[in-house]
Structure 1
Amino acid sequence: MNPRHAPCLRLATLVLGLGLGATAHGHAGLPETSNVTLRRGHPEDFFVGTTFGAVISRDGGRTFRWLCPDAMGYGGWRPEAYLWRESGLILAATGSALLRSPDGGCSWNTHPFFKDTWVSGLAAHPSDDRVLYVVTNRYNIANGVYRSLDGGETWAASPLLREKLRLNAVRVSSAQPRRVYVSGEEDGQLLLLRSDDAGETWTQSAPDLSSLLLPYDLAVVATDPSNVDILWARVSSQGSTYLMRSDDAGQTLVLVQRIDDVFINMDLSADGKTAWVGTLNHFFRGASTGPLDMLSLPTGNACVLRVGETLYGCGSTWLHDWALARSTDEGSTWTPLFGLYEIQGTHLCPVGTPVRDICPSRWPQLAEQLGAPLYPDGGVEVPPTPSDGGVPDAGVPDAGAPDAGAPDAGPGPGQPPGPQGSDGCGATRGNMAPAIVLLFTLPLLRRGRRRVN
């Protein structure tokens, strides 16, 4: 069977199992991307969180390779976002541990300072990523805000540290980095807190949410790039997400948009006037004061990240071929970076590191699910280069250098050529009977889609 058809048949099987009345969402129990980050100062380095570990690119998105969750060691606490420092250190708050990789994704450990609490949010200074903040939210202990001035090596508690307080998010204002916002709850009251002096003192507010029925899970999600007093928060109520905006540093919140979906994240234009929002099924764009319009792409796990004038968006390979794409026209059109079927085996790491020792043996099973190249060695052995016929060092020289094996976009030795494009796996919203027909017929037809570099 053509490996490109395997994901479609697996999706068809899943849909049939769910029943005709279900909706074909790209996240329906299948492998997906969930967040994206670029290494500071190195736009050629991508790190993409997924439901099956993570994938990494060291060559501007031309090739992506897999990091298995067993080697990363996050267990059931999958990170919602990663931070890749310019030095090469990768950090993530998992909701339990503070996860870190000092060597560009090959080795992972948990920071021992937070072994007795749960790290629920992480943020960095916009121009000096040695300055980091985390918040904690474990029950029955004192929670609060912690700050590091050395890139996450050592941490100190801020004065905001008390029992019954549980915090879920932290954001540092890019307009004025000494302004820090955090969110959470205490004794059932939803709170926003701000510091004007990098965490030394705090002002607390409890915004009026009486218009919502039993609101919960208030979280600060973005700050305005040019105005220190403007922030955005989301709050849940009766199965919907309410995106709110504050123009007075969190004292009051005004509704921007009600979204009947699960909020993933948002980003803003450089002037703060345009907002993009990704949800579990859709992608929205509009004025940052609202309302927002739903765009046709991406669909499924639609995360968003703005870097300069470029947007990066997660999407569902199962619905529109690509798992990550970029846009230079504010999300109107997208250029695919990769689909899950294009992952080129496991991350190239030195022997003796967890990713190199654990992940290759797990790759063939995942590759079958994705329709990706079936490298028997996990793709870690780099094919000879055309220039000298030798085999480059498969290890990563250091955390700050591009992956020496990144140009390996071809199949492993003795393997047939991997898929160069996708036949697609289109699905329709609503009643699933037409979708099931498509799921079995579309793999038999070439839809003419090709990857655009």
Structure 2
Amino acid sequence: MKLLTSLCRGWVLATLVLRAAPAFAHAGYPDTTSVTLRRDHPEDLFVGATFGAVISRDSGKTWHWVCAEAMAYGGWRPETFLWQPEGTLLAATGADLTRSSDGGCTWQVHPYFKSRGLWPMGLASPASNPARLWVSTGRSGSPNGLFRSDDGGETFTPTSLQSNTPNALDNSIFTAVKVAPSEPRRLYVSASTPTGLHLYRSDDEGGTWEDIPQPFPDYQSEYSRAYDLFVLRVADTDPDRLWARISWQGWTYVMESRDGGHTFQSVLHPENQTRDGIDEYLIGMEVSPDAKTLWAATPTRLFRVREGDPAATLMPLPDGNACVERQGDVLYVCGATRVHDWALATTTDEGQTYTPLFNLPDLKAPACPAGTPVHDICRSRWPQFAAQPDIGADPTLPPEGPLPDGGTPDAGSSEDAGTLTEPPVPQPSTGPCGCSSPGGLLPVAGLFLLTPFSRRSRRNPET
């Protein structure tokens, strides 16, 4: 029975790999990549993934798929999501700002940045005023800058921080923007300019800016210098304490400032980030409410840095995939289903033990009404889902119409998605494990993924 269960899970993951390949051929394993909780509604969770996203509206009891093809961002996977209290989902993809006002069922590209040829990279909004949004852009050779919205993202206006101003030379790329939680008027924007790396600081919500050059003299050589400055976090209670990342000679460094960005010191060293001789880069970080503990995620592992400790601690789990997000005293951590039986888990003891919250084989069909891109495009792109009835759909959404038949949708993007009318697909047969059995040989991707599953049963997910 255990072998059958492993085979079923392997087949589910193989299906994800095959279905995700057209949009993300570079994605590799089907993995979770980010966690976003709806503000003031912790029961609503949105998890980015290499195969699109998954969404839960019941504190993680059930999870539904949102395919990448319906999310209006093409081959650019968002790294920054924001879920506002009134329900709007936003994503800065690095190419567009996309929005959904119906719980992730319909996504649209914001015309303001699209019409100007700008690429939104950073996205921030103060918890005390969710209607205010800050977006930084970073398309090389474009008039980049920081943009402000006071109506929840319906309209935007440029701030005084623009690439054609004296404080930000042409060709500047504004990589990220952060708001100090304890002082919403304090903004930090990181940038790469022709004169080097810069951090811009405002104490009056973008009215005026202090330009703070960041030469990072310890990270220079005759042939190279630090690059890719990204401001990552500002402490909950201290607006002068912040963290950023830089890269140099292939390494990623986590830097900390305690004087409002004027000086930085490294707190996570590159020797901590090697895995089997391969260098890994930082993909995200979190800090505790008192700012005395830092967690940093690479694509495969999670590190913890405690104030006063001489070196970072490599956490035993996750292994094979990682991301980290904090809400209060709870950490949400991405993991690898293929290795330790969960793709998302929570921990309240700094990663010593985990409570699984989501496992990829438990993923359900999209919970969106017929006529929305996520329903009409996504349900037909996964054979197991195309044959499922619409049970378990989000009860807050309108009733769905007739289920479209499975097949390849005519819609190539969310703009032209409509109700599908393809010929019917035969109902898959059910194997002894309850999975849908393929009508032919198991795909090569499935065989590849089965190998770690057959070995995984001996692992203890909390050791």
Q: Same fold (TM over 0.5)?
A: yes
Q: Which residue of 2 aligns with 1:82?
A: 81
- The offset of 1:280, in angstroms, is 0.9
Q: Which residue of 1 aligns with 2:416?
A: none
SS of residue paired to 2:217: coil
SS of residue paired to 2:184: coil
Q: Which residue of 1 aligns with 2:101?
A: 102
Q: Which residue of 2 aligns with 1:422?
A: none
Is residue 2:134 matched to residue 1:133?
Answer: yes
Q: Which residue of 2 aligns with 1:38?
A: 37
Q: Which residue of 2 aligns with 1:343?
A: 363
**How far apart, in 1, do the equivalents of 2:203 and 2:211 lie?**
12
- The offset of 1:4, in angstroms, is 3.2
Q: What residue identity is the alignment partner of 2:28?
A: G
The within-5 A match list for 1:244-393 is: 244-259=255-270, 260=273, 261-287=280-306, 291-345=311-365, 347-364=366-383, 374-377=384-387, 379=388, 381-382=390-391
Give a deviation string over 1:350-384, Cα, whole Å, max 9, x none: 111001111111122xxxxxxxxx3443x45117x
Structure 1 unaligned residues grouped into runs of 5+: 13-26, 365-373, 384-391, 399-411, 420-435
**How far apart, in 1, do the equivalents of 2:452 and 2:99 lie?**
45
Equivalent residue in structure 2 for 1:240, among 251, 255, 278: 251
Q: What residue identity is the alignment partner of 1:154?
A: T
- The offset of 1:342, in angstroms, is 1.2
Q: Which residue of 2 aligns with 1:430?
A: none
Q: Which residue of 2 aligns with 1:4?
A: 6
**How far apart, in 1, do the equivalents of 2:335 and 2:251 lie?**
21
The within-5 A match list for 1:11-90 is: 29-90=28-89
How many residue pairs were aligned? 389
Question: Contact 2:340–2:460 at 8 Å: present in 1 too?
Answer: no
Question: Contact 1:137–1:167 at 8 Å: present in 2 too?
Answer: yes
Give a deviation string over 1:378-401, Cα, whole Å, max 9, x none: x45117xxxxxxxx8877249xxx
CA 1:92–1:9 in structure 2 vs 1: closer, same or farther (change >3 Å)? closer
Give a deviation string over 1:186-227, Cα, whole Å, max 9, x none: 105011111101111111111231211421101101111111
Deviating 4+ runs (over 3 angstroms):
1-4, 6-12, 288-291, 392-395, 412-419, 436-442, 444-451
SS of residue paired to 2:181: coil
Equivalent residue in structure 1 for 2:181, among 171, 174, 181: 174
Question: Contact 1:360–1:380 at 8 Å: present in 2 too?
Answer: no
Equivalent residue in structure 2 for 1:191, among 192, 198, 212: 198
Q: Which residue of 2 aligns with 1:155?
A: 156
- The offset of 1:125, in angstroms, is 0.6
- The offset of 1:276, in angstroms, is 1.1
**How far apart, in 2, do the equivalents of 1:173 and 1:277 lie?**
20
Question: Contact 1:348–1:395 at 8 Å: present in 2 too?
Answer: no
Q: TM-score, normalised by structure 2?
A: 0.78
Give a deviation string over 1:309-329, Cα, whole Å, max 9, x none: 111001111221110000111
Question: Contact 1:137–1:166 at 8 Å: present in 2 too?
Answer: yes
Equivalent residue in structure 2 for 1:200, among 188, 201, 207: 207
Q: Which residue of 1 aligns with 2:111?
A: 112
Q: What residue identity is the alignment partner of 2:233?
A: A
**How far apart, in 1, do the equivalents of 2:358 and 2:12 lie?**
20
**How far apart, in 2, do the equivalents of 1:38 and 1:438 lie?**
30
Q: Which residue of 1 aligns with 2:404?
A: none
- The offset of 1:10, in angstroms, is 10
- The offset of 1:240, in angstroms, is 1.2
**How far apart, in 2, do the equivalents of 1:28 and 1:143 lie?**
29
CA 1:45–1:443 in structure 2 vs 1: closer, same or farther (change >3 Å)? same
Structure 2 unaligned residues grouped into runs of 5+: 15-25, 164-169, 274-279, 400-426, 436-446
Q: Which residue of 2 aligns with 1:433?
A: none
Question: Contact 2:27–2:50 at 8 Å: present in 1 too?
Answer: no
Question: Contact 1:245–1:289 at 8 Å: present in 2 too?
Answer: no
**How far apart, in 2, do the equivalents of 1:336 and 1:318 lie?**
14
Give a deviation string over 1:133-189, Cα, whole Å, max 9, x none: 000111222111111111111111100012322111111100211101010111050
**How far apart, in 2, do the equivalents of 1:3 and 1:42 lie?**
34
CA 1:9–1:67 in structure 2 vs 1: closer, same or farther (change >3 Å)? closer
CA 1:149–1:415 in structure 2 vs 1: closer, same or farther (change >3 Å)? farther
Give a deviation string over 1:34-60, Cα, whole Å, max 9, x none: 000011111111100000100000111
CA 1:380–1:96 in structure 2 vs 1: closer, same or farther (change >3 Å)? farther
Question: Contact 1:375–1:415 at 8 Å: present in 2 too?
Answer: no
**How far apart, in 2, do the equivalents of 1:328 and 1:129 lie?**
27
Question: Contact 1:9–1:440 at 8 Å: present in 2 too?
Answer: no
**How far apart, in 2, do the equivalents of 1:288 and 1:161 lie?**
37
Give a deviation string over 1:398-445, Cα, whole Å, max 9, x none: 9xxxxxxxxxxxxx99856758xxxxxxxxxxxxxxxx9997486288
**Pairwise CA RMSD:** 3.0
SS of residue paired to 2:55: strand
Question: Contact 1:350–1:394 at 8 Å: present in 2 too?
Answer: no
Bigger mean CA offset, 199-208 vs 90-99: 199-208
Q: Which residue of 2 aligns with 1:122?
A: 123
SS of residue paired to 1:190: strand
**How far apart, in 2, do the equivalents of 1:380 and 1:119 lie?**
38
SS of residue paired to 2:322: coil
CA 1:219–1:289 in structure 2 vs 1: closer, same or farther (change >3 Å)? farther
SS of residue paired to 1:70: helix
SS of residue paired to 2:80: coil
**How far apart, in 1, do the equivalents of 2:329 and 2:300 lie?**
24
- The offset of 1:448, in angstroms, is 8.8
Q: What residue identity is the alignment partner of 1:91?
A: L
Equivalent residue in structure 1 for 2:241, among 230, 237, 240: 230
CA 1:353–1:5 in structure 2 vs 1: closer, same or farther (change >3 Å)? same
Q: Which residue of 1 aligns with 2:22?
A: none
**How far apart, in 2, do the equivalents of 1:70 and 1:361 lie?**
11
**How far apart, in 2, do the equivalents of 1:284 and 1:181 lie?**
25
**How far apart, in 2, do the equivalents of 1:268 and 1:92 lie?**
22
- The offset of 1:33, in angstroms, is 0.5
SS of residue paired to 2:70: helix
